[in-house]
Structure 1
Amino acid sequence: MEGVADAPDAQAAPNVIVADRQVIVCQGIGSLVAQIPEVSLGAFATDKASLKKLLAAAQGKTILILGVRLADGDLTQVLEQVRKDYPDVMVVVVADETEFAFIRTAIKQGANSVCMMSQILTSLPKILGKLVEGHSIVPSDILKRLTSDNTDTLSRREHEILALLVDGLTNFQISARLGLSENTVKYYLKAIYQKLDVNSRGAAIAKYVAGNY
């Protein structure tokens, strides 16, 4: 009899949390998720605090559909924290074509799958189906782009510094936040400018926000 009692929990549909800085994006993805019978749509999150609260309260198998930015942080920061605090959560990153650099970052940081926004109607149901079965999946067209892309990508520290630039911090404030000297911050900024092929903070921020790196 115990086996019968345990069966519903064992077969419970995974809970899906959708996180993006724009509520309308969460709602759009959520409406699609709600039509997929293998999963159960949970709540939305637009910032790191609300996402952390949802993940802490989640029970059973959980899938996080994550946009490249929340209101107070980008995918690099959010995914690192999720992987550290909630290693069992399965993560699907959704990005636009112009944000493909974030796809590279997501794969490196342990995302279970990725989905281009332009293909979400056909790809997301298949991806969620595979995750329900316990399989990570990278669509073949994305995998082809990843393996043929030799772009010099940013380091984790450079991502951190760029994210703080986006938040409007000065070199001094960045050095204090990260425990670095101002000269070290300047060194990183020089390297960032070279990688992004820009010569100003504003241009670097614009490229980073657009995901063009």
Structure 2
Amino acid sequence: MCSNHLMNTPDPIISNVIVADRQLIVCQGIGSLVGQIPDTCLGQFATDLEGLRRLLTAQEGRVIVILGVRLSDCDLATALEMLRREFPAALVVVVADDTEFAFIRAAIKAGANSVCMMGQILISLPKILGKLVEGHTIVPTEIMRRLTTETNDALSRREHEILGLLVNGLTNFQISARLGLSENTVKYYLKAIYQKLDVNSRGGAIAKYVAGNY
């Protein structure tokens, strides 16, 4: 579904929008909102990396990808790496739940053009897409506030949970089963934890955490 401005105005450049998330129902919900935004044309949905790659390969013209933090077969970092490597012209908006703010921070560092919290999507996404259509990158004020007020080494609630399970000797697989996450997502969290704690191993992370040096 494509949305356009009123007649008698110059023809705008239409941006094709692809929504990608591991859950089709999430894609459909975001897609229903995109369909109401001027100068956008909603494309098909993707739930895995290969599906996203296939849709992008078939696209012509300007493309915006609205990307959830997980696809069915990969995490956000892998998806962003593929997009930057194979489709550098694509504009990327990452959408995450309020409890997944670490993904928002990582997305900005990885070069996402914009980010949006799921709790603010009805208000923020139309503004974000409108700016991207005009050629501008935008990070919502609330997200900027959180990015500038949070210390870089502050661990999120989920990161504390994962570190606690590491201390108890659980493997990545056991942690994923305990928390209902994929192993790739656990690895993504661990990478973020290592970066925050300035370590490069599980042992180093555990030692700092037990000593309270974080």
Same fold by TM (over 0.5)? yes
- Report how far residue 80 of structure 1 moved: 1.4
Aligned equivalent of 2:33: 32
In 2 relative to 1, CA 15–104 (structure 1 residues): closer, same or farther, beyond 3 Å?
Answer: same
Amino acid corresponding to residue 147 of structure 2 in structure 1: L
1:131 is aligned with what amino acid?
Answer: L
Partners of 1:42 and 1:142 in 2: how far apart?
Answer: 27
Q: Separation in 1 of the partners of 2:70 and 2:154?
A: 18
Q: Write the letter of the residue equivalent to 1:60.
A: G
Q: Structure 2: how far apart are the matches of 1:109 and 1:153?
A: 19
Q: Please state how far the C-alpha of 1:190 moved relative to its aligned partner.
A: 2.5
1:86 partner amino acid: F
Paired position in structure 2 for 1:64: 65
Aligned residue number for residue 50 of structure 2: 49
Structure 2 Cα separation of the partners of residues 150 and 83 of structure 1? 27
Residue 23 (str. 1) matches residue 24 (str. 2): yes
Distance 2:154 2:58 in 1: 35
Instruction: Quote the Cα distance in structure 2 between the aligned partners of 1:63 and 1:27.
Output: 16
SS of 2:36's equivalent in the other structure is coil
Which residue in 1 is equivalent to 2:169? none
Larger helix fraction of residues: 1
1:183 match: none
Partner of 1:79: 80
Structure 2 counterparts to residues 9-158 of structure 1, below 5 A: 11-152=12-153
TM-score w.r.t. the length of structure 2 is 0.70
Which deviations, in whole Å up to 9, do the C-alpha atoms of 1:6-26 show, x marking residues without a partner?
A: xxxx84411000000000000
Report the CA distance shift for 1:13/1:153 in structure 2 as closer, same or farther (over 3 A): farther
What is the aligned residue count?
165
Code of the residue aligned with 2:202 in structure 1: it is L
Residue type at the aligned position of 1:190: G
Change (3 A) 1:168 1:80: closer
Quickly say closer, same or farther: Cα 1:193–1:40, change in 2 above 3 A. Answer: farther
Does residue 188 of the first structure (1) align with residue 189 of the second (2)?
no
Q: Distance in 2 between matches of 1:194 and 1:65?
A: 38
Question: How big is each residue's C-alpha offset from its partner over 1:21-47, in whole Å with a ceiling of 9 and x where there is no partner?
Answer: 000000000000011122000010001
Alignment-mate amino acid for residue 74 of structure 1: D
- Structure 2 Cα separation of the partners of residues 32 and 105 of structure 1: 25
- Could you say what secondary structure the match of 2:201 adopts? helix
Distance 1:87 1:192, change over 3 A: farther
Deviation at 1:132, TM superposition (A): 0.2
Indicate how the Cα distance of structure 1 residues 37 and 189 shifts in structure 2: closer, same or farther if over 3 A, else same. Answer: same
Equivalent-residue separation in structure 1 for 2:128 and 2:44 (angstroms): 20
Gaps of at least 5 residues in structure 2 are 1-10, 156-171, 177-181, 188-199
Quote how far apart the aligned CAs of 1:192 are.
4.7
Whole-angstrom distance in 1 between the partners of 2:39 and 2:126: 9
Aligned-CA RMSD value:
2.7
SS at match of 1:64: strand
Letter in 2 for 1:110: G
Identity %: 59
Task: Give 3-state SS (helix, strand or coil) of 1:127's partner.
Answer: helix
